[in-house]
């Protein structure tokens, strides 16, 4: 699979899940994007590479969870929020 080609931003978690089921990939790429200051998590980016296309889903933190996926944020001893791998 190539990471080159067209990039499609997928806005809903349900649509991204449907695409993942359709392609049945062996793996996905992800990036946890910290905010500034670091104690405020900015978001989670999921990338599904397919032949000639990349599907990208971005979720951002609101309160103690990611807004679209509902993933609960963890807080370390310094008050920094993060997504547990």
Give the pLDDT confidence of 73-85 residue by residue, as tens digits: 888 898 878 888 7
* pLDDT band per the 50, 70, 90 thresholds, residue 2: very low
pLDDT digits (tens, 9 = 90+) for 6-62: 999 999 999 999 999 999 999 999 998 877 666 666 789 999 998 899 999 999 988
**Which alpha helices (DSSP H) does 7-82 contain, by range?**
13-23
CA atoms within 13 A on the CB side of 43: 9
C-alpha of 85 from chain center: 12
Q: Where do the structural domains in the chain lie, given as residue ranges? A: 6-82
Q: What is the pLDDT of residue 84?
A: 80
Residue with the larger pLDDT of the pair 75 and 2: 75
Q: How many CB atoms lie within 10 A of CB 61?
A: 20
pTM of the model: 0.82
């Amino acid at each position: 699979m190539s990471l080159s080609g067209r990039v499609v931003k997928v806005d809903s978690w349900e649509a991204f899940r449907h695409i993942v089921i359709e392609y049945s990939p062996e793996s996905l790429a992800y990036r946890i994007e910290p905010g500034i200051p670091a104690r405020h998590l900015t978001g989670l980016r999921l990338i599904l590479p397919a032949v000639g296309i990349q599907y990208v889903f971005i979720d951002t933190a609101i309160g103690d969870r990611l807004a679209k996926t509902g993933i609960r944020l963890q807080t370390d001893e310094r008050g920094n929020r993060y997504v547990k791998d």
